[in-house]
Structure 1
Amino acid sequence: MNVKTKITVSVVSVLLVFSANGQSRKAIDYVNPFIGTGAVESGLSGNNYPGATSPFGMVQLSPDTRTEIDWDRNAGYDYNDNSIVGFSHTHLSGTGLADFFDILFMPVVGKIDESSTDPTRFQSRFSHQQEHASPGYYQVKLLDYDINAELTATTRAGFHRYVYPAGKQARLIINLNHSRKKGSWDTQIINSQLRQVDAYTIEGYRAITGWARLRKVYFYVRFSKPVLRNIMTDGGIIYRESKVLNGRNLKGVFDFDTADNEPLLAKIGISATSIDHAKQNLDQEIKGWDFDEVKLAAQNQWEKELEKIRVEGTENQKEIFYTALYHAFIQPNTMSDVSGDYMTAGFNNSNVAHSGGGVHYSLFSLWDTYRAVHPLYTLLQPERDVDFIKSMIRQYDTEGYLPVWQLWGQDNYCMIGNHAIPVVVDAVLKGLPGIDVPKAYEAVKNSSLTSHLNSPFEVWEKYKYMPENIQSQSVSLTLEMAFDDWCVAQLALKLGKQADYERFTARSKYYRNLFNAQTKFFQPKNDRGEWIEPFDPLKYGSNGGHPFTEGNAWQYFWYVPQDVNDLIRLTGGEEAFSGKLDQFFSLKSNDGEVNSNASGFIGQYAHGNEPSHHVAYLYNYAGQPWKTQF
């Protein structure tokens, strides 16, 4: 065993505490998928969903309690709601915006308003007393229809089991119009298709644009019982016994015979590339009709991932810990089919490529995830992390730069910085095998030179900071881009590229150009080098039109992780630095100066927002480590 291996093993041994007596229950038994599904402070929700998914799966099969979702309850489910509008097959977890909600299923009985395009006309009340969720499984009783609904999932397929009441006409609605609020982020259905292939099979697709631009979702459904009759509608126009329908507001109602009290089973494969690939995904991952077998396989998958860490503590602490680990392993999401095919980046839905043996992933919320969860992946998911890196580099091959915020294979350029760079550099410097290191360096270097949205590098190098009158969010951008440049410099040093090392090291110090020695804060300047006044360090910014991104000058003051000692020097030494930290954790905000993106305040520290996450550890650099532990 070489030295690097010994160091790696010893570090992991410290982090992963295995105890023969510390935990008798399985890890999945501690997971509570309902954590984060309801508002807890100032109307803020964790924006998590309780439904069935597999680790890093393409399918997230979960109940939706709302329609036309916009800026609120972004996972589609709110624990405080009492009605379900259906079960859709794709969801986001923990994001600040909503999207997806593809292919909504809703089982119903009896007479309904068949022409209605409003999913709330078919919703059903439910009770948490008759609802259950665990990794890979979800169950609920739809009270208005007396239907017991169960869901499980594989990586690329979903499995439904519905038990209808005896003596009632069993029906299933498939809604292709359900989405986030139309018009928000230009969300609209571009086209969709619903086709009954035979008595047991439905297929189709929808093309939609929204936060994720110009994406297609293809699906292939098989039923355990034959369809007796169907009704298809487009915007309220009814087509009876139609075999295929195209339109922008499609719904199908399918009737079944469940007089024998056997459940109706429906299994569905999805794909971003084609209906044929959706069928292949289904055929490969759910070969038979044993729902419980698929459910058990999903649970075993989750146990394999979660049992990598054994912890000691109270039962409540274990529930919080394993649920958080579960949420960390929900995404990024698989985007390649079982064949290895995937849709490339670049708003080109005709461009299908092959992943070359690995899995292609998407959903890289990098401003959020580069700070903690991607470093965690290098320890707990090293093979997947290599595939994450390869997936990011594939966008570089198409677009000329690494992802900023990639969703369903397309970059939506949400947030700031180019934080795929530290993710790639971290994996390379840790020596994860399987990464093309020269290619990785080419990608991180050119992603720091090729201008794109919110990254005008010609401005960066001309002024050596971001002027607010040229680029909004200028202070946050200056601080975060300086860190990204430092990361490029470290990889350049590792590879012996001295000129690049010196260039990017110099850029990594540009944060100094926005430090005001009089106020001891980082402040915005214009392109003439003048401080922009008035300046209030407590004033919050949002996502544009303000010098700070989801924060204020107090919260961004601490963002020089590449050179904390220099930040201490700028502040006036360790005593001044630790004193400012003390003030940070005790200073209250002005009335009304709280960003809706932030929560969990301790003074100016916002535990519920990313820029604060590292700050408590800075006491360690100032000779007062006990305050970090306080």
Structure 2
Amino acid sequence: MGFSHTHLSGTGCGDLLDFLVMPGTGESKIVPGPRSNPDAGYRSRFSHDDEHAEPGFYSVLLKDYGIRAELTATERAGLHRYTFPAGNGAPSTGHIIVDLEHSYAYNGHSAVVTASLAHVAPATLAGGHTTKAWGDGRQIYFTMQFSQQPTRTVFYQDSNVVAQGTQPLTGKSLKCVLFFDLSRDPVVLVKTGISGVDAESAANNLKVEIPGWDFEGIRRNARRKWNEQLSRIAIETENETHRRIFYAALYHASVGPSLFDDVDGRYRGMDKQIHQLDPNQRNYTAFSLWDTYRAAHPLYTLINAERVPDFANTLIRMAEESPSGMPVWPLQGCETGTMTGYHSAAVIAEACNKGIAGVNYQQAYKLMMKRAMVDDYRGLGYYRSKGYIPCDLEEESVSKTFEYCYDDWAIAHVANKLGHLDDAKMLVARSRNYRNYYDRSMNFARPRLSSGEWATPFSPIEMGTSKKWRDFTESNSWQTSFGIQHDAAGLIEIMGGQAKFLAKLNELFDQPSTLPADAPPDIAGLVGQYAHGNEPSHHIAYLYTYAGQPHKTQARVRMLMETMYKALPDGLQGNEDVGQMSAWFIMSSMGFYSVDPVSGNYIFGTPLFDNVRLQLGEGKQLEIIAHRESPKDQYIQSVTFNGKPYTRSWFNHRDIATGGRIVFQMGSEPNLEFGSQPEDFPPSLTLDGA
């Protein structure tokens, strides 16, 4: 259909796709036309055989026009190169359409509320639009320059040709077609600066980042930057499929969060106003927090620690600026409010507990406590007064309570670090509110009514007990019953102790993968009732380790790595969710995972590779070595940590913060002794992470 300038990475909701550009020959058309009849519009057929993609570069042949399209980018600008047909019989003219009506469709229509388009120079366009879709009232702007001066430019408003004078055109449906004489040069380049501030700032971004027309230079620079990022983890393996999956995953995990500021340090805040950053600060967006706090942000603390202060300070500024308070799912100056909890608290608290400097934790604490203690937000009032959220008064009540428990746990760490010990004690105690949902007679978490009684009828595979709304967020009671990340020991106790807990955990994986008709499609990648395609399940395979059976974790995790990820374009068993699905694979394949990210603890799983060298920054390195006789050897026989025998089934971030060396001896059969003693279990509900 064309090439737009903004995109989201595998989110469950859609938006963006701003400022579509599409080249063509022959008759110019201003509508894309349907896929069923592409000849009716400007879209073109293509084949994957004529396509090439790599980090920082994309190319495809538009078969209907014979045009080779190539794309590359800088941080705030995109560069297109369109090579039109040349030689005998080739058309002497070509055109490029710029479609400002194009957007991610909202209720079947363009999400554009209003747009502006100006012809600021013979070969330069500028404008922007406001959209109402997933992000309500999102504002984005551009300045676009062409390497050739068009012979003429035709503007359209609501499909009608209009004159374009000195003032910008405004309206919901604005487009233009630029015509080019190709007789001297069949190549037309297009460079576009993007800004959330205004078109003039987009022009400045373009001037600074792409001052000329050196496509190959920009491409090489993009390739260099991606190579720097992807080289932060080096792996050794003879399994080429595993290698491809790993580096595709590292690419995916590195796409977000997205930079959302201009070269002069200005950005559009969550209050829709323009703000100025302090020197050397950066502002980001596209935080899929319900997903990414689990593994993506822990991964960033390892391989991109230099960016973590900017991530955290961005979230703090958002909480200050946004009418909605603590960020939930922020997108380009809008709070989408998507998903439950407010896990910006978890991301900030993880940075605090891991000792990452340069973050305004004092201000963060005030904002967190306002949400935790004051805001009447999505059932939090019930959570505070009753210790649970009644399912007859609030939707997704069980999941929301579990999420608020984890955010209380997160804030407790910041309180502890800042010396607010009474607050920390209160929040830790409140983080156990999840216990109010467990029916010990059946060992399931189930919804409660405002009367305190269990809601009926109850089935662990159902989304809720009534048709009014769901009681669980993209999950059911099977998954949610194991949804406790910070107090696994408490979960084991409430389920009747170690033996009953382990039996229940086995049962989860061994159940029929039956779901009701109203189950959301997000519950995917099923192994029994475990759903790897959605985030509430991501820590569950590691819970065996908390009950003294890490070999069960090792077997489950290896199975999930082998079955839930393929070296294919559709190789994930669920939404990417801005890197979380991939981050699970990255962390797990290195041999550990952050069940409870805020604590800073990592739980051993099973290393997939023979050797991993992870660059922690400032010359520090974590090396992970796995000795095995066969690639199928998945069970840990023994561990040495920095040259010393190590019996624990976990370690803390501070143990590797300055570098380290972990050596696994692997085998084909479980070592039932490793990690089986209570003193070697990972800790639960301990603020210092040890």
Give the counterpart of 2:75 among 144, 152, 155.
Answer: 155
1:620 maps to 2:620? no
**8 Å contact kept, 1:99–1:212:** yes
Give the counterpart of 2:84 among 154, 164, 186.
Answer: 164
Q: 1:508 matched to which residue of 2?
A: 431
Q: 2:345 matched to which residue of 1?
A: 421
Q: CA deviation at 1:451?
A: 2.2
Give the counterpart of 2:16 among 83, 97, 100.
Answer: 100
Q: CA deviation at 1:100?
A: 0.4
Q: 1:301 matched to which residue of 2?
A: 225
Partner of 2:373, secondary structure, is coil
Q: 1:494 matched to which residue of 2?
A: 417
Q: 2:649 matched to which residue of 1?
A: none
Q: How does 1:387-406 map to 2 (within 5 A)?
A: 387-399=310-322, 401-406=325-330
1:220 maps to 2:150? no
Q: 1:75 matched to which residue of 2?
A: none
- Distance change (3 Å), C-alpha of 1:460 and 1:272: same
Q: 2:381 matched to which residue of 1?
A: 458
Partner of 2:522, secondary structure, is coil
* Amino acid corresponding to residue 546 of structure 2 in structure 1: Y
Partner of 1:162, secondary structure, is strand
1:145 maps to 2:61? no
In 1, Cα distance between equivalents of 2:534 and 2:426 = 32
Give the counterpart of 1:582 among 498, 506, 517.
Answer: 506
- Distance change (3 Å), C-alpha of 1:352 and 1:172: same
Q: 2:177 matched to which residue of 1?
A: 253
- Distance change (3 Å), C-alpha of 1:190 and 1:377: same
Q: How does 1:65-464 map to 2 (within 5 A)?
A: 85-114=1-30, 116=31, 118=33, 121-166=41-86, 167-168=90-91, 169-183=93-107, 188-239=111-162, 244-313=168-237, 314-346=239-271, 348=272, 350-399=273-322, 401-451=325-375, 453-454=377-378, 456-464=379-387
Q: 2:536 matched to which residue of 1?
A: 611
Q: CA deviation at 1:112?
A: 2.7
Partner of 1:566, secondary structure, is helix
Q: 1:34 matched to which residue of 2?
A: none
In 2, Cα distance between equivalents of 1:599 and 1:267 = 40
**8 Å contact kept, 1:619–1:627:** yes
Unaligned stretches of 5+ residues in structure 2 = 556-690
Partner of 2:306, secondary structure, is helix
Q: CA deviation at 1:363?
A: 1.0
In 2, Cα distance between equivalents of 1:555 and 1:436 = 35
Q: CA deviation at 1:118?
A: 4.7
Q: 1:599 matched to which residue of 2?
A: 524
Identity of aligned residues (%): 39
**8 Å contact kept, 2:462–2:516:** no
Q: 1:518 matched to which residue of 2?
A: 441
Count of aligned positions? 541
Q: CA deviation at 1:188?
A: 3.1
Unaligned stretches of 5+ residues in structure 1 = 1-84
Partner of 1:122, secondary structure, is coil
* Amino acid corresponding to residue 151 of structure 1 in structure 2: L
In 2, Cα distance between equivalents of 1:251 and 1:588 = 53
In 1, Cα distance between equivalents of 2:435 and 2:112 = 47
- Distance change (3 Å), C-alpha of 1:181 and 1:543: farther
Partner of 2:422, secondary structure, is helix
Partner of 1:311, secondary structure, is strand
RMSD of Structure 2 on Structure 1 (CA): 1.9
Partner of 1:214, secondary structure, is strand
In 2, Cα distance between equivalents of 1:627 and 1:171 = 61
Q: CA deviation at 1:591?
A: 5.6
Q: 2:457 matched to which residue of 1?
A: 534
- Distance change (3 Å), C-alpha of 1:574 and 1:498: same
**8 Å contact kept, 2:513–2:526:** no
**8 Å contact kept, 1:224–1:264:** yes
In 2, Cα distance between equivalents of 1:283 and 1:439 = 36
In 1, Cα distance between equivalents of 2:15 and 2:278 = 25
TM-score by length of 2: 0.76
In 2, Cα distance between equivalents of 1:94 and 1:544 = 29
* Amino acid corresponding to residue 413 of structure 1 in structure 2: G
Q: How does 1:30-45 map to 2 (within 5 A)?
A: none
- Distance change (3 Å), C-alpha of 1:394 and 1:356: farther
In 2, Cα distance between equivalents of 1:161 and 1:187 = 27
How far does the alpha carbon of each residue in 1:22-78 deviate from its partner, in whole angstroms, 9 at most, with x for none? xxxxxxxxxxxxxxxxxxxxxxxxxxxxxxxxxxxxxxxxxxxxxxxxxxxxxxxxx
